Structure 1
Amino acid sequence: MQFVTTILCGGAGSRLWPVSRELHPKPFIRLGDGQSLLQKAFLRGVGLPGVTEVMTVTNRELLFATQDAYREVNSAGLMMSFVLEPCGRNTAAAVAIAALRVAEKHGPEALMLVLAADHLITDQRAFADAVSKARDLASAGKLVTFGIKPDSPETGYGYIEAEGNKVRRFVEKPSLEKAREYIDSGRFLWNSGIFCFAAGTMLQQMKQHCPEILAASAACVQQSRTAAGEDYSQIELDAKTFSSVPDLSIDYAVMEKSDQIAVVPCSIGWSDIGSWTALGNLLEPDSAGNRIQGEAVVHNTHNCIIQSNDRLLGAVGVDDLILIDTPDAMLVAHKSSAQDVKHIYAQLKASGHAAYKLHRTVHRPWGTYTVLEEGNGFKIKRIEVKPGASLSLQMHHHRSEHWIVVHGMAKVVNGEKELYVNTNESTYIPAGHKHRLENPGILSLIMIEVQSGPYLGEDDIVRFEDRYGRA
C-alpha cells in the first residue's frame, strides 16, 4: 500500500519575527545544529518505514527555497511532489488538494501522514511507534489525529478529550485555570496538528462535512498546471479558482464534525515552536539562565533569550527579556509578552514596511542577493549566483545597473552584446537594455551591483525568458 508523507509548509510565523518573514517563514529557521525546522520535518517523514513519496504543500514563491533545503539533506531518492499555492487558504484546502492528488495517483486506499513543517519532534523512535498505530487505525477507516500527553497547563494549544483511541471532544485554547483542570483530570491531550488517514476516507468525510471546500478544491485542480518526471511532479494551483476555496482549518472543517475520528496518545518530544520562549528553550542556559545564540557579552543579566548572529550584542542589567538582532531589524520584548510579537509583524504588514516580508538577504532560485546600502536614487547589492545558474533575460524601465565581479566569472548579455566579465572587471547596463547574468563556472559567482535611478523597487522588472518559469 502506498504511504505518502505530506508536509504542510505555510504560515508566516509572525510570533518569531524578525527572523521569520513572509518569504522566509518559520519552517526555514535554522536551529543550533544547522538544520531548519523544514529539513527536520522532511527527515522525520522519510525516516518512517514504508514511505513511498514526500508531498509538500507550499507557496509557489517558496518552491526553490524548499527544494534547496531538501537537497541539503535528501539521500533517500523517494518520489518528490509539490502542490504550489498562490496564496494561503488554510489547512482544509491544503489537505483536500493533497488528498485529491494522492487518490488520483495511488488510489483512494493510499495512506497519508500529514505533518506541519514548523513543528519539532525530538523522539523519532516514539514518533515512528505512534505512526505505526495510526496507520492501523487509518487502514480501518479512521481519520487519526495525534494527541500529545501534556506535561504542563499550556494555554497556547488546543486540547482533545480522549478515552483510549476514542475522541470525546475537541476543545479550543483554554484559560490557564481550565488548562490546569484538564491536566489534573488525566483525560486531555494537546492537539498536535498531525494526522493520518486514507486519502479516500478524508475525501468522503469532506464531501459529507464541508462539500463546498472539496468541490472548490476539485475545480481548482482541474484548472491548474501540472508537470511530472520520473521521480518528480508538481501542480501549480490556478490563482483565480484557488482564491475561491473557503478559508477554514481542517480541524473546523472535518475533524471536529466527523464520527470517524481516532486519536493516538503519545509522548514524542513535540513542540510547535510557537514563540521565542519555545525556541529559546532549545538552547542550553548559562549560569545566569541566559540562552544565547551568536555573539553576545552580558553583565548582570539574567534569564534572557539573546540571538545575534551578525554582530556583537551587549546586555547590561536586564532580566527576562527577548533580544533578537538581525541585519535590518531588532526585537526587544519581555518574555511574558512572547505571544504578542505577532502584533509588531501585523503593524509592519499593514504599513507596507518591507521588514515583514523580506530579509536584507533574499533567496532566489538562482542564488541570493543582499542589500548592502540604499539611499535616495541608489541601491547597492551583493549578488551570489550558483554554479550553472542564470537570472532571467530582463529589462528595467527606471534604473541602470553597474556590475562588478569580485569572485568567479560572469557570462553577461548586455543589449545586443554577449561578453564574459572576469574577477575585478565590470559592465554597465543602461535603463531599457535587455540583460542577463549567468554563472558558467563551477564556483559561486559573487558580484556587487550598483543601481541608480528615480525608482529602485523590485517590481521594476520585465522578464522575457526565464528557466524558472517566472517570465
Structure 2
Amino acid sequence: MIHPVIMAGGTGSRLWPLSRQLNPKQFLKLTDERLSMLQMTVARLDGIAAADPLLICNEEHRFLAAEQMRQSGFDDARIILEPCGRNTAPAIALAALQMVNELGDDDEDPVMLVLAADHLIQDVAAFQAGISRAIPLAQQGSLVTFGIVPGHPETGYGYIHRGSELAPGCFAVDSFVEKPNLDTARTYLASGDYLWNSGMFLFGARRYLKELEKHRPDILAICRAAVDDASQDLHFTRINASVFADCPEESIDYAVMEKTNDAAVVSLDAGWSDIGSWSALWEVSEKDERGNSFSGDVIAHETSNTLVRADSRLVATVGVEDLVIIETKDALLVAHKDKVQDVKKVVETIRNDGRHEHMNHREVYRPWGVYDSIDSGKRYQVKRITVKPGAKLSVQMHHHRAEHWIVVSGTAQVTNGEKTYLVTENQSTYIPVGQVHSLENPGVIDLELIEVQSGSYLGEDDIVRFEDLYGRT
C-alpha cells in the first residue's frame, strides 16, 4: 500500500484574477466543471491500493481544503498546516515524520507518493501505470521522480537527463537541468534523453528522512522539532510555528534529489501540465474551429486563438486574436498569450499599492458557508450570506459597526444579547454596535440572508470572538 501526500500550498499568482491568495488555483475548477484541481488529484488515486491521502496546506486555506476533501468523501481528512511556506523539502519532511511517528517502532518504511494539488493529468490510466512501475524501485531504496515525456521544446520547466535503464520505462538519473533557453530545449527534445521535471515523487518515508539527514541535517532537525511539538485542532495537525519559522527554504530537488546517489526517474506520458499560466490552460482546453476556448457568457466575432472566461457578465470580443480575457466580479484581465507570465507583476503592483484584489474574490468562503460583498460605501457595506445547514458563526461583537439581517430563504437562529429567537423568510433583525451576537442555521436547507453593515469602520478585523466551533481566535 502506498501513502499519498498531496502538497496544496502556493498562491498561483500567474492565474490572477481567478486565483487569489486566499483562494488559489489548487482549489479552483479550472479544467473540470465539477471538480477543483485538488479534487481531481484525489480522484485519480481511485483504483490504486492507497491509504487515505495526507494533505499539506497553508494555515489560511485550512477550511477550504477540509471542505473540498469532505466533498471528495474524506470527512475527517488528515491535514498538516504549514504556518509559513518553506518550499517542498521541509513540507515533505513534515509528512514523512508524521508517518514514521504514527508507525512508532515498526520497521516498515511506508512508501510515500508525493503529488502537487494543482497539476492536470489527462490520462489517468497511464499515470497509475507509471506508479506501478515506480513502486519496486522505491521498495528497493530508490528515490523516484516522474519525468514527463516532452511534447515540445519547453523553456518553462526544468529537465531530467535520464541515465541507464533500470527497468522498462525506469532510468537512473544522470542529472537535473535548470530551465533551458529555446535552442537548448530543442536539443533536449531531439535527443530523446531528457524529460520534464514534474515535481512528483515516490519513496520510503524513512528513506527520504535518511537522505535529508545526510544532505540537509539542519532542515530535518527543525522539522523534527516542529513535529514533536505539534498539536491537534479538529482534524488539523498544527506544527510548532515559531520553530518551523527558522527552517531554511529549500526545494526537494536542491536539498536531496540532486545530491543523492539513488535517484531514479520513471518516464510518464499521461497528458501532464502544471497549468502554470493562462496560455497553458488554453493549450489543454477544448477549442472551437478557430482555436478559441470560451467559458461563461461569451459572444465572439472575428476572434481566434483566444481564451475567455466570463464569471459574472457578458463578455464580447470583436476582431481579436491570441488574447486571454478573464472576467470576475471585481477584476478584468486582458493580456496577450505571449505575455501571460507577467501577470504576477500585476499582482505585485496591486499588493504594493495597498489594494485587496490579490487577496480574495468578492465571494469569500468560511467554514460555515460563504459571503458575497455586493456593495460598499464610506459608512456602509452590503453582503449576501449563505450559512450551511447545522453551521454557526462565532459568538462575537463589533466595536464600530451595527448589522441589519434580512432572511431571504431558510431559518436563522439569532442570539442577540440575552435573547435567542428564530428569524424566517421576509423577516429581519437588528444587531446594535457592541452587542454580543451569533447566527446559526438550525434547518436542513441553506440559510440565505442579506446583511447591511453601517458604522465608522467595516473591516473584517473588527470582530471580537468569544466562542467559535472552528478554532478561530
Report deviation, 1:352: 2.9
Report deviation, 1:79: 7.5
1:201 to 203, 207, 210: 207
Larger mean CA deviation between 382-391 and 65-74 belongs to 65-74
Q: Is contact 2:126–2:270 with CA below 8 Å preserved after alignment? A: yes
Structure 2 counterparts to residues 110-259 of structure 1, below 5 A: 110-163=110-163, 164=165, 165-226=171-232, 233-259=235-261
- The separation in 2 between residues aligned to 1:119 and 1:357, in whole angstroms, is 22
Q: Which amino acid aligns with 1:89?
A: R
Query: SS of 2:415's equivalent?
Result: strand
Q: Paired residue for 1:326?
A: 328
- The separation in 1 between residues aligned to 2:38 and 2:123, in whole angstroms, is 16
Larger mean CA deviation between 278-287 and 3-12 belongs to 278-287
Q: Is contact 1:52–1:78 with CA below 8 Å preserved after alignment? A: no
Q: Which amino acid aligns with 2:27?
A: F
Report deviation, 1:48: 4.1
- The separation in 1 between residues aligned to 2:180 and 2:174, in whole angstroms, is 17
- The separation in 2 between residues aligned to 1:227 and 1:465, in whole angstroms, is 15
Q: Is contact 1:32–1:283 with CA below 8 Å preserved after alignment? A: no
Report deviation, 1:227: 5.2
The answer for unaligned runs of 5 or more in structure 1 is none
Larger mean CA deviation between 217-226 and 199-208 belongs to 217-226
Compared with structure 1, are the counterparts of its residues 351 and 468 closer, same or farther at alpha carbon in structure 2 (3 Å cutoff)? same
- The separation in 2 between residues aligned to 1:336 and 1:49, in whole angstroms, is 39
Q: Paired residue for 1:9?
A: 8
- The separation in 2 between residues aligned to 1:39 and 1:338, in whole angstroms, is 26
Report deviation, 1:395: 0.9
% of aligned pairs identical? 49
Q: Paired residue for 2:168?
A: none
Q: Paired residue for 2:97?
A: 100
- The separation in 2 between residues aligned to 1:3 and 1:297, in whole angstroms, is 48
Larger mean CA deviation between 241-250 and 150-159 belongs to 241-250
Q: CA RMSD in A?
A: 1.4
Q: Deviations over 1:188-219 (max 9, x none)?
A: 00000000000000000000111111111111
Query: SS of 1:355's equivalent?
Result: coil
Q: Which amino acid aligns with 1:111?
A: V
Q: Is contact 1:110–1:199 with CA below 8 Å preserved after alignment? A: yes
TM-score, structure 1 normalization: 0.96
- The separation in 2 between residues aligned to 1:83 and 1:52, in whole angstroms, is 16
- The separation in 2 between residues aligned to 1:394 and 1:135, in whole angstroms, is 51
Query: SS of 2:3's equivalent?
Result: strand
Q: Which amino acid aligns with 1:338?
A: V
Q: Is contact 2:324–2:336 with CA below 8 Å preserved after alignment? A: yes
Larger mean CA deviation between 56-65 and 358-367 belongs to 56-65
TM-score, structure 2 normalization: 0.95
4+ long deviations beyond 6 Å? none
Report deviation, 1:309: 2.5
- The separation in 1 between residues aligned to 2:194 and 2:410, in whole angstroms, is 59
Q: Deviations over 1:2-56 (max 9, x none)?
A: 52100000110011000000111011111343211110001123x1422022100
Larger mean CA deviation between 280-289 and 411-420 belongs to 280-289
Larger mean CA deviation between 275-284 and 315-324 belongs to 275-284
Q: Is contact 1:414–1:435 with CA below 8 Å preserved after alignment? A: yes
Q: Paired residue for 1:89?
A: 86
Report deviation, 1:90: 1.1
Q: Paired residue for 2:287?
A: 285
- The separation in 1 between residues aligned to 2:133 and 2:293, in whole angstroms, is 37
Q: Paired residue for 1:343?
A: 345
Q: Which amino acid aligns with 2:95?
A: A
Q: Is contact 2:70–2:76 with CA below 8 Å preserved after alignment? A: no
Report deviation, 1:126: 1.0
- The separation in 2 between residues aligned to 1:36 and 1:358, in whole angstroms, is 17
Query: SS of 2:255's equivalent?
Result: helix
Report deviation, 1:167: 0.4
Residue 26 of structure 2 corresponds to residue 24 of structure 1? no
Q: Is contact 1:54–1:78 with CA below 8 Å preserved after alignment? A: no
Report deviation, 1:78: 9.5
Report deviation, 1:423: 0.9
2:272 to 253, 270, 273: 270
Q: Is contact 1:24–1:358 with CA below 8 Å preserved after alignment? A: yes
Compared with structure 1, are the counterparts of its residues 48 and 273 closer, same or farther at alpha carbon in structure 2 (3 Å cutoff)? same
Q: Is contact 1:54–1:79 with CA below 8 Å preserved after alignment? A: no
Q: Which amino acid aligns with 1:25?
A: P
Query: SS of 1:281's equivalent?
Result: helix
Q: Which amino acid aligns with 1:206?
A: L
Q: Paired residue for 2:361?
A: 359
Q: Is contact 2:172–2:265 with CA below 8 Å preserved after alignment? A: yes
The answer for unaligned runs of 5 or more in structure 2 is 166-170
- The separation in 2 between residues aligned to 1:199 and 1:138, in whole angstroms, is 10
Q: Paired residue for 1:69?
A: 68
Q: Paired residue for 1:439?
A: 441
Equivalences, count: 463
- The separation in 2 between residues aligned to 1:78 and 1:139, in whole angstroms, is 31
- The separation in 2 between residues aligned to 1:280 and 1:396, in whole angstroms, is 45
Compared with structure 1, are the counterparts of its residues 274 and 406 closer, same or farther at alpha carbon in structure 2 (3 Å cutoff)? same
